[in-house]
Structures are given as C-alpha cells and as structure tokens.
Structure 1
Amino acid sequence: MNSPRLLRRCLIAAFSAVLAASAFTGPAQAAPQAAEATVFSDTFDGPAGAAVNSSRWQIETGDNVNNHERQYYTAGANNAALDGQGHLVITARRENPSNYQCWYGRCEYTSARLNTSGKFTAQYGHVEARMKIPRGQGMWPAFWMLGNDIGQIGWPASGEIDVMENVGFEPSTVHGTIHGPGYSGSDGIGAAYSLPNGQAFADAFHTYAVDWAPDSITWSVDGNVYQRRTPADLGGRSWAFNKPFFLILNLAVGGYWPGDPDGSTSFPQQLVVDSVTVTTGSDSGSGGSGRPITGLAGKCVDVAAANSANGTPVQLYDCNGTEAQKWTVGSDGTLRALGKCLDVVERGTADGSKVQLWDCNGGANQKWTVTAAHDIVNPQADKCLDVTDNNSANGSRLQIWSCSGNANQKWTVG
C-alpha cells in the first residue's frame, strides 16, 4: 500500500518545535527490563541474495504519491535481500531497469518496503530493530508500525507508531513519533534523539526500540530512553494504540520531509538490518514470560507440531516445555503462543466450536478470561475452554463448551 503518512513533513519548523517541546530532560536511563518471552524474531539468516522469509514478511510494491517520495518499491529480492552474514539489506538505487512509472513520470529510483501484515501483529511488548542506516541527502529509512485495522477504519484513525525515522540531512539525529486522529502528519507527537559529538548513525549499528504497554509508549536508542507518551499528551484526543499493530521496514528516497537527493548523494545506499525482535513481559501487559497451561490428566495446552501457521489446531498434549506450550496472558484479554493468539474458529459461539492459532486481530473470538475457579472463558460466547469428549489422549482438540465445572474445563496457568 502507499504510505498513509500524508503530507506529514510539509511544516518542518512546526514539527521540529513539537519534537523539541516533547523531549526528555536530564540524563537518559536504560529502558526497564522484565521477564520476557520472544514472540517474533528474525535474524535474517540465509544465503546471500535470498529473499526474506515469506512466512514473516510481505513485500509491498509501487510508488508513493502521498509523501511525494521518488522511489518505486520492487518485488522479490531485487532491492531487499539477505547478505549471507545474518543481515537484511534494503538497497536504494538510482535506476529504472523495468521502466517503472511513478506519480511524477518515469521513476528515478528503486528501493524496498516490507511489512508483517497478515503474518504477525504485536500488541504491547518490547519492539526493537538493530540496524545500520544509510546516509545522504534525500534518504529516509524507517522502522514503524500501523494499526492492524487500517483496512477497516483508515489512517490516521488506525494509529501509527514510528519507532525510528531518519532524514539524510540530519545524520546525527533520529525521530520517534505517534500519529492518530487529530495528531497526524506534521502534527504528529514525538521527539528526537541525537548522538553526541556529531557522530553519524550511518557509521555503526544501533538498536531502536519502543517499550509499549496499555496507555504508554517509551522510545529508546541503544537502551537510552528519550521520550514517553501517554493519553495525557493528547489533549483529549483519542489514544489509538491499545490494539494490534503490524511492523514495517522501508527505505524511501526523497519526499516532503527529507527533500530530494542532490548532487551530494551517492548511490546505492543501504539500510542494513541485523535483527527485528518483539518480546513480551510483565511490564508490557503480557502477563510475563510464556508459561504452560495445564489441564486434564496434567497435560498442557499445545500448538500442534509447534506450527505457527494460521489455523493450526490447539490441542491437549504431554507437557514438554517447548515454545508450543508457552502462553502469555495479556492484559488485552489474549492468550498468546508462537507470536499468535488463541482463536475460536470462524468466530464461533456454539458448543463444540474448535480453537486454533491465528494472527492477533483484536476480535472477540480471541478474548479470554482466566477465572479464580480455573476456568478459561470466552466472554463473547460465554463458554469455557474444553477438552473434546473429556479425552485425555495426546492430540485431543480443544474447543469451547457451556461451562460445567467438569475436570476437562479446569486449567492452571503457570
């Protein structure tokens, strides 16, 4: 899709004033740490020239008139490929070998943009990327997130969290920003972080992160916190960030904010990504590290074959300590394993509706309440998580059923 960051960079002075007013004062401190479980990780291992893992990322194509960017985003591994040394390299080139057409005519540049839409969503946690950014006038690398409901409600109502953006004319500075209804584009709310002594971010790898909890987002670079945002910063406007978001990596060329490349800009330029990781912990509203959920015959709630694909059955199985049996209980009402949510198939509410693993989407069929009586209840259906036919054999499917108090509906978390 084209970027929804519409015209956001027209008023540079106004945007800079917002950033300056919002920055932390006093010495930076390391971001708080909590017991964590990794729900998404890509370290980009693979042979040189290979495309990214299609189970984690999809490639966007086309131009972007909204920001007046100059590049055409290409498919496959043309501009986004592994380097064989554990990195993803997104390359911006001054070329147009396929006669791509852009909003301004024949495209002058190619680059790449990737996202996890339909493959992974995050809701709260520590979201980080370790990257080495490009340099030069007109370069615009970004690591950011969009609300997973953008297709239903549009931007900026969907919300946008910019973990890191850099514009080439500021080699020592990166920005973190939120956008939502009434505070989007050049009115986005954020802050800037600069390296000391004129060091350039392009000279080394740095880690860009947010720690995200209900009603709170905190930004850091290399563990140094530089801003925190809550609904109190919005002046009564709507906080759009208590729901699932997907991840985006891209390298734009030109646009309203960075300006176009000029004679000082050399090509190709590269955004080199060492890793992207999402972890959840008790401080991020996830309920802590992944824990087993035990039930009938002392067996565990298990993702069949440890398969993270959408639609994988959730079953009863001997407890074995694998990631397929490590669940986080989120303050958002979800139960998560392998980076996805426990989901009632086809949003069913009838007795016997099976449960599965699915992308977290905020649906009522992915909401659960763990009661003091050891029931796990789906409030939409007002039914309990249940072992089919009271069968304690390995592989017995789990379902929802009218709550009865029987042993096949009793569960212990942790």
Structure 2
Amino acid sequence: MRASPLARRPRVAALVASVSIAGLLATGAAVAANAVVPARTSAGTAAADLSAAALTWSDEFNGAAGAAPDATKWNHETGAGGWGNGELQNYTTSRNNSALDGNGNLVITARREADGGYTSARMTTKGKYQPQYGRIESRIKIARGQGIWPAFWMLGGQFPGTPWPNSGEIDIMENVGKEPHRVHGTLHGPGYSGAGGIGAAYTHPQGWSFADDFHTFAIDWSPDRISWSVDGTVYQTRTPADVPGTWVYNQQFFMILNLAVGGAWPGYPDGTTQFPQQMVVDYVRVYDGTGGSGGTRTGTVTASNGLCLDVAGASTANETPIQLAHCNGNAAQSWTFAGDGSVRALGKCLDVAGAGTAAGTRVQLYDCNGTGAQRWTHDGSTGALRNPNSGRCLQPAGRVQSDGTRTEIANCDGSSVQRWRIP
C-alpha cells in the first residue's frame, strides 16, 4: 500500500559512509556528518531514569508456542510489490512468518519459499496504540545476512491521510545485513526525506554482530527533542534546530516491526545468505517520560468559536452525546488525552458510536475499551481531531457551532469547524 516512506534508505548509508571503522570501534558510536555529537550515558544511568517512569503500554509476547501476535495490539500489513525500495518479500499473516515462540518472544521469520520467492511479516499498532512522547523501546535479537533488513520504527498517526513524508517517520532501529555491527536511527519529514533523512549510526563497542544477542533499542521522546540509545547508551539527540524543514514529531505516532528482504539500501541476498532468518522480539514497551503521569494532558477542548467540548448533562451513562456548550469549567468539560490515544472525561472515553466509519456517525461517551473507535490524533497544524479507525475528523453536527450542537465524524477538510484547541 505504501511506497514512499521506505524509498529513502540509500541516503542513510551514505551519511555514515565517511566515518572510519577504526573510529567507530574506538568510540562505540558512528555519527553521520550532520548528526549532533552524542551525549553518552551509562546503562545504569538509563535504568535509573527509567525506574521513575510509568509503564503505559507493553507487549511481552507471552503465550503458547505458535500463537498469533495479540490482534488487539497489532495489525498485519500484507503484500509484495517492493514497498518502494525494490524489496523482494511478500508480507503475510501466516504463523510461518509471525508467531509467539512460547518463551516470551515474538518471532518474525523471513523465508525463501519453494518457488524462489520470499515471505516475511510486517506489524503495526496503527489505530490501536499511538503514543505521543515517552520512552519507546524494544529488546530485539535481529536477523543477519546479506540483503536482510530488520527494523523497529514509527510513522505519524495520520498516515496515510497525511502522506509521507509530511506525516513524519522516526526510525528507532534499522540494520542492513552487510553491516552486522551497525544500527541506524533516522528522522524523515517534510524537507528532509529520502536522500535527506537526518540520522546517525551506532556501532557495537566490540565490533560484534548485533544478531549475536539481544539488544535494547530505544528513543526518549519529548516535545521538540528525541534521543536514541542502544543498551542504555545515548548516541544521538535531535531538536527542531537540526532539521532543514518542519519538525513534525509533536504528535502521535504508531509503531512498526518488520523484517524485509532485499532493497536498494541493503542490497539483495546472495550465496552467503541463509534462510530462514528470524528477528526475535522479547518485548515492546512504552514508558511515560514525565515520572508517572502516564503522559496525559488534561483540560478543556475548545472549538474555533470559543465553545467547549462537553458531555451532555454531565451524564456518565454509555452513549451520552458529546456536544458543544458554553465553557463552564466543570468536569463534563475536562478532557484527558491519555498515552494510549484515548480522550477521556468523567472516567469514560470519547467514542465513535458503533465503531462506525461513515461520515455523520455520532460521537458519544462510552466505557473505555481500547478499540480504534476510541483513538484520536490531533494535528497541530490544522487543529483537527482525527479518528484513525475511520479516517474522519470530529466536528459539530451539520457544521453548526452553537450551544447544544451534538458532534459527529466527517470528512477531514481543514475547515474552522474542525479546528480544536486541546490542553
């Protein structure tokens, strides 16, 4: 389905090509020509910082051997077609390509099939969990070999409604098999995508292959700042001053795990490449970086004409309509934007009725259940509150901004009636 968000890795390799291997081994970090000189921390310091943060979401991949990944947390993207990079694999939903191993791990397996083609898996949290800020980390034993390309990364929650690269991309970890001792972290956004992605590389301190053992790959993400680390060592920090275009990372992103075969950047399998290859994931965890607040923001949600988003009658009953009302400061107008993408008031969630996707579907209060009907993203540039499950935006019914007007989802059009100021 998507091509352009991947059609850019050759530049990442080029960015680090000028860094000598000897220098990499001496410092334990490879830094691209345009990278921030990394601040380094010990693994112990990183662990101490993490202990102060609240775990807001995780998948520990516990389950029976051969079981499917948790469908309440992960989607499978499927298909072949090269994915914009000349890749060879066909992504499937088969347990041959993605399954739990019974030992607390997810195993993504790239296979060469009897017909000479390749299969693998690509999993995302789109519409199910889309964090904004915090520590995003995964403990992974990557695959190995020429033409093998494991990755743990993120795309802006409004993709594909907002096309790449305007949606933004955060590559937490990428490895190309021809460089077994090196991993990459990169940003792609408007004005610095494709050949101009902004990133750096990190080399194993002993020069060993990252496929030999598990390693923890993470970002620490806060407004206007992202830092990358491997096993607790921070090797790169980026801020808006580092990008030659717009900083698009103050919004929700969804996570992606995939194992690709071939492509312009990694090259293609050759006689040295052995199949099957496995990317083994011990866990994926998201921590609140604020010391336990859950990454939440609480306050009023205000329409462009100054009215407030309100729970009708301050009722806590399921299916209570959400409306516009004069702002009064009561609990029915106090909304919490939680780290799981939900928007909450009176202990319940802002919900698209019946998980509907059609324009005109009403918006209501309902018991929080973690479904896509209760996930919302806010576009800082247009002010839109978008439900990724439906691809539509919150607005007053009939586009009438008056006291008592109920709300609905509608085609996102960037108009003032779809503009909301959030806490």
TM-score (norm 1): 0.70
d(CA) in 1 for partners of 2:246 and 2:297? 34
Residue number in structure 1 paired with 2:85:
67
Residue number in structure 2 paired with 1:297:
none
Assess, with a 3 A threshold, how the Cα gap between structure 1 residues 288 and 55 changes in structure 2: closer, same or farther: closer
Assess, with a 3 A threshold, how the Cα gap between structure 1 residues 267 and 52 changes in structure 2: closer, same or farther: same
d(CA) in 2 for partners of 1:170 and 1:291? 42
Residue number in structure 1 paired with 2:241:
232
Assess, with a 3 A threshold, how the Cα gap between structure 1 residues 74 and 180 changes in structure 2: closer, same or farther: same
Secondary structure in 2 aligned to 1:249? strand
**What are the equivalent positions in structure 2 for 1:23-42 lying under 5 Å apart?**
24-25=37-38, 27-29=40-42, 30-31=45-46, 32-33=49-50, 35-42=52-59
1:200 to 209, 212, 220: 209
* Mapped pair 1:189 → 2:191: no
d(CA) in 1 for partners of 2:320 and 2:229? 38
AA at the equivalent of 2:177 = G
d(CA) in 2 for partners of 1:353 and 1:289? 24
d(CA) in 1 for partners of 2:221 and 2:213? 26
Following superposition, the deviation at residue 187 of structure 1 comes to 1.1
Following superposition, the deviation at residue 41 of structure 1 comes to 0.6
d(CA) in 2 for partners of 1:161 and 1:62? 23
Secondary structure in 2 aligned to 1:93? strand
Secondary structure in 2 aligned to 1:56? coil
- Kept after mapping to 2: 8 A contact 1:129/1:277: yes
- Kept after mapping to 2: 8 A contact 1:34/1:281: no
Residue number in structure 2 paired with 1:9:
9
**What are the equivalent positions in structure 2 for 1:7-406 lying under 5 Å apart?**
7-11=7-11, 14-16=14-16, 19-22=32-35, 24-25=37-38, 27-29=40-42, 30-31=45-46, 32-33=49-50, 35-65=52-82, 66-95=84-113, 108-235=117-244, 237-282=245-290, 287=293, 334-336=336-338, 340-342=342-344, 343-346=349-352, 354=365, 357=368, 358-362=374-378
Following superposition, the deviation at residue 64 of structure 1 comes to 4.1
Assess, with a 3 A threshold, how the Cα gap between structure 1 residues 275 and 26 changes in structure 2: closer, same or farther: closer
AA at the equivalent of 1:138 = G
Per-residue Cα deviation, 1:312-336 (whole angstroms, up to 9, x for no partner): 999xxxxxxxxxxxxxxxxxx8432
Assess, with a 3 A threshold, how the Cα gap between structure 1 residues 47 and 256 changes in structure 2: closer, same or farther: same
Residue number in structure 2 paired with 1:298:
none
AA at the equivalent of 1:152 = G
TM-score (norm 2): 0.69
- Kept after mapping to 1: 8 A contact 2:219/2:229: yes
Following superposition, the deviation at residue 125 of structure 1 comes to 0.8
Following superposition, the deviation at residue 10 of structure 1 comes to 3.5
d(CA) in 2 for partners of 1:240 and 1:212? 13
Tell me how many residue pairs correspond in the alignment.
331
Assess, with a 3 A threshold, how the Cα gap between structure 1 residues 334 and 138 changes in structure 2: closer, same or farther: farther
Following superposition, the deviation at residue 14 of structure 1 comes to 3.5
AA at the equivalent of 1:254 = G
User: Which has the larger displacement, 201-210 or 334-343?
Assistant: 334-343
AA at the equivalent of 1:133 = I
Secondary structure in 1 aligned to 2:86? coil
Q: CA RMSD in A?
A: 3.7
Assess, with a 3 A threshold, how the Cα gap between structure 1 residues 22 and 54 changes in structure 2: closer, same or farther: same
- Kept after mapping to 1: 8 A contact 2:297/2:337: no
d(CA) in 2 for partners of 1:292 and 1:11? 41
Per-residue Cα deviation, 1:380-403 (whole angstroms, up to 9, x for no partner): 9899xxxxxxxxxxxxxxxxxxxx
Following superposition, the deviation at residue 292 of structure 1 comes to 12
Following superposition, the deviation at residue 287 of structure 1 comes to 4.3
Assess, with a 3 A threshold, how the Cα gap between structure 1 residues 69 and 196 changes in structure 2: closer, same or farther: same
5+ residue gaps, structure 1: 98-106, 294-300, 305-310, 315-332, 368-377, 384-414
Following superposition, the deviation at residue 213 of structure 1 comes to 0.7
- Kept after mapping to 2: 8 A contact 1:2/1:64: no
d(CA) in 2 for partners of 1:273 and 1:233? 31
